[in-house]
Amino acid sequence: MQAPSLQEMLVNFHQELIRITVKEDAVSFSTPDQAIFRQAQEKALPLVNICPPQVKAEDFFAVMTQVAGIIKHFMPDLAAETEQIESALPVDPAEREEFVTGALTPGVDLLSDLKTDLPPETFDFLLNHTIKPFMSQYAVNASKYFDPEMWLKGNCPVCGGKPTLALLEKEKGRRYLYCDLCEVQWRFNRLGCPYCTSNESHFFTCEGMEKYRVYYCDKCHGYIKTIDGAKTGESQPNLFWEDINTIQLDILAMREGYINQAYPQEPEI
Ligand SMILES: [Zn+2]
Ligand SMILES: [Zn+2]
């Protein structure tokens, strides 16, 4: 039997991961005070900084165990590192709560808190896939607190993260960016790099994949895969799967020296 390609393996891996869902009430947040909310919006702070998501430690660690199991199954090369990480996770209830709060707060370096040497890329990989179902539920629960048409920033309005994919709308040619952590899409300028302030826009296409463009930036060396809505025939493509099904374009862009700005360091798989 032929070994599955990287693309097939990723599809199988993600098909298993998306079965992990969390209940609507697994993520809560405090209603933001109106004045603070308005101020934060003027400063373009993402929702995580205004009304952070709260998740029970037991729910979070239950999902983490499931994600770890899926990684070990589909990516045996990462199994030993994943086990090493699992055995270093906190067991004390207070420490577990602190860990979860840190995991849901952008910029917190959880790894250095664990006081043991762990492989950082695999740690982030496990953590991101654990956070994801909670963040996408949070984005749904908090949807009335952001307007995807009005945000117009290069960062996700929910988590503040960088987009992984863009969509050029068919009718009016508007551009939307997509965050694969929160599964949120929001409007952005039609041209210019979403990762830095450069207004330049260059793209390449790949033979046989004409519905995609890869925009790249020579200032920050970022790139963003973009679906050309005029060529897809669908008005609402599934951006989650589009991202996974176009790994070939990531490989091409990285071979040309461009960087995945959303995930600068992914484990080698
Ligand atoms: Zn996000
Ligand atoms: Zn740039």
**Tens digit of each residue's pLDDT (9 = 90 or more) over 122-153:** 999 999 999 999 999 999 999 988 889 988 99
**pTM attached to this predicted model:** 0.91
Among all bound ligands, the one having the nearest atom to the CA of 217 is 2
pLDDT at residue 233 tops 90: no
**Tens digit of each residue's pLDDT (9 = 90 or more) over 147-186:** 899 889 999 999 999 999 999 988 888 999 999 999 999 9
What whole-number percentage of the chain has pLDDT above 90?
Answer: 70
**Average pLDDT for 54-63:** 97
Q: Where are the domains of the chain?
A: 6-145, 165-255
Q: How far is the CA of 32 from the centre of ligand 2 (A)?
A: 33
Q: How far is the CA of 223 from the centre of ligand 2 (A)?
A: 8
**Average pLDDT for 44-53:** 90
**Tens digit of each residue's pLDDT (9 = 90 or more) over 67-124:** 999 999 999 999 999 999 999 999 999 999 999 999 998 888 898 878 788 999 999 9
Among all bound ligands, the one having the nearest atom to the CA of 48 is 1
Q: How far is the CA of 158 from the centre of ligand 1 (A)?
A: 5
**Average pLDDT for 220-241:** 87
**Average pLDDT for 8-14:** 91
Q: How far is the CA of 46 from the centre of ligand 2 (A)?
A: 20
The identity of residue 168, as a single letter, is L
**Tens digit of each residue's pLDDT (9 = 90 or more) over 22-41:** 999 999 999 888 888 788 77
User: pLDDT tier at 264 (50, 70, 90 boundaries)?
Assistant: low
Output 1 or 23, whichever has higher pLDDT. 23
pLDDT of residue 1: 58
Q: How far is the CA of 75 from the centre of ligand 2 (A)?
A: 32
Among all bound ligands, the one having the nearest atom to the CA of 215 is 2
Q: How far is the CA of 243 from the centre of ligand 2 (A)?
A: 20
**Average pLDDT for 17-22:** 94
**Tens digit of each residue's pLDDT (9 = 90 or more) over 184-208:** 999 999 999 999 989 988 999 999 9
